[in-house]
């Protein structure tokens, strides 16, 4: 089966360090099953650093609209024009800080697919939602609007990132992550979207990647902090490649 590992660099790094990290990734874990999501301002220089590799390039967000009067946004045509193949949509940091609704996220995912970009639709419950037993409902409420705009054959991925596990050092247990992934897979299968990869994110590191990769419904990882170190990121990629 295929797997995918993505590095979300968020607003870390400056141009030189972004280029150096991209070169490390290209050298240490080159392949079409890997992509990096640098800060958009460095996408072009990262693209150059990846030029002789198969590593994919993505943006961390996308406008739901085409070219026009949306100051500060990047539209799908522009993302493609600078050589991106992937985009993150609905990351919890944006759902929370920018108050992005699930319908808005779905519109972004649709804009990406229409432009032949592959969106990674991010979903994940808060600690409060998990502790009150509402975690599956919370994730499905985020996910279903995006699934409704997808058609069989559309290329996209889902990234399950529990909010309480992001940047906290607390990873969901492999069993808890697997349980949510199985629910997500069920929803995908009901809509003829079973080819869609489901990635896990939230404090993934070299030390826990193999255990996560062993779970039947965890097809890859969306990595934050540990993606900022080429060796560590390559070790995570290697753990998922073993699954194939
Ligand atoms: P961390 O791996 O730093 O927890 O971040 C996860 C994440 O938000 C990736 O999108």
Q: Is the dihedral of CA 194, 88, 144, 162 positive or negative?
A: positive
Q: How much of the chain exceeds pLDDT 70, in percent?
A: 99
Range of the domain at 141: 4-241
Cα–ligand 1 centroid distance for 55 (angstroms) = 19
User: Which tokens in the block code for residue 201?
Assistant: 């994110």
pLDDT at 167: 86
- Which CATH number is 136's domain given? 3.20.20.70
As a whole number of angstroms, the distance between CA 238 and CA 242 comes to 6
pLDDT value at 53 more than 80:
yes
**CB 7 less than 6 A from any atom of ligand 1:** no
- What are the CA-CA distances from residue 197 to residues 5, 47, 188 (Å)? 10, 24, 10
Q: Check if 125 is active-site.
A: no
Report the candidate in 82, 156, 85, 92 with the shortest Cα–Cα distance to residue 119. Answer: 156
As a whole number of angstroms, the distance between CA 15 and CA 46 comes to 8
Determine the atom of ligand 1 nearest the C-alpha atom of 166. Answer: 4
| CB contact at 8 A, 139 and 183 | yes
As a whole number of angstroms, the distance between CA 171 and CA 161 comes to 10
pLDDT value at 244 more than 80:
no
Q: Comparing 243 with 239, which gets the higher pLDDT?
A: 239
Determine the atom of ligand 1 nearest the C-alpha atom of 88. Answer: 10
pLDDT tens column, 76-107: 999 999 999 999 999 999 999 999 999 999 99
Residue 35: strand pairing partners: 6, 56
As a whole number of angstroms, the distance between CA 186 and CA 172 comes to 20
As a whole number of angstroms, the distance between CA 213 and CA 208 comes to 9
Cα–ligand 1 centroid distance for 68 (angstroms) = 31
Containing 212, the helix (H) or strand (E) segment is helix 206-213
Cα–ligand 1 centroid distance for 173 (angstroms) = 15
**CB 96 less than 6 A from any atom of ligand 1:** no
User: Which tokens in the block code for residue 35?
Assistant: 């992509």
Residue with CA closest to ligand 1 atom 1: 224
- What are the CA-CA distances from residue 228 to residues 40, 49, 182, 240 (Å)? 16, 15, 29, 18
pLDDT tens column, 102-138: 999 999 999 999 999 999 999 999 999 999 999 999 9
Looking at the structure of the chain, the number of domains it has is: 1
pLDDT value at 235 more than 70:
yes
Q: Is the dihedral of CA 224, 230, 232, 236 positive or negative?
A: positive
Q: To test ligand 1's pocket by mutation, which of 124, 177, 200, 204 has the most ligand atoms within 8 angstroms of CB? A: 204
Name every residue whose Cβ is closer than 8 Å to that of residue 81 and which is 6 or more positions away in sequence: none
pLDDT tens column, 168-208: 888 889 999 999 999 999 999 999 999 999 999 999 999 99
pTM for this predicted structure: 0.97
pLDDT at 1: 63
One DSSP character per residue, 145-159 reads: HHHHT--TT---EEE
pLDDT at 7: 98
| CB contact at 8 A, 13 and 38 | yes
């Amino acid at each position: 089966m295929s797997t995918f590992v993505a590095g979300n660099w968020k607003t870390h790094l400056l141009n030189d360090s972004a280029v150096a990290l991209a070169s490390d990734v290209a050298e240490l874990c080159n392949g079409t099953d890997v992509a990096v999501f640098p800060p958009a301002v460095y996408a072009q220089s990262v693209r150059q650093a990846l030029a002789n590799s198969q590593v994919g390039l993505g943006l961390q967000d996308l406008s739901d609209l085409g070219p026009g009067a949306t100051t500060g946004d990047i539209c799908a045509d522009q993302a493609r024009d600078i050589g991106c193949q992937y985009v993150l949509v609905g990351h919890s940091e944006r759902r929370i800080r920018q108050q992005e609704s699930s319908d808005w996220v779905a519109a972004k995912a649709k804009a990406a697919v229409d432009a032949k970009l592959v969106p990674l639709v991010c979903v994940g419950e808060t600690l409060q939602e998990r502790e009150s037993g509402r975690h599956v409902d919370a994730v499905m409420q985020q996910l279903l609007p995006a699934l409704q705009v997808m058609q069989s054959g559309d290329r996209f991925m889902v990234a399950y990132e529990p909010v309480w596990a992001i940047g906290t050092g607390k990873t969901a247990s492999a069993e808890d992550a697997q349980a949510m992934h199985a629910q997500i897979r069920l929803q995908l299968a009901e809509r003829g979207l079973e080819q869609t990869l489901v990635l896990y994110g939230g404090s993934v590191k070299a030390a826990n990647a193999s255990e996560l990769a062993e779970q039947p419904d965890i097809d890859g990882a969306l990595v934050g902090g540990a993606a900022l170190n080429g060796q560590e990121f390559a070790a995570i990629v290697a753990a998922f490649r073993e699954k194939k």
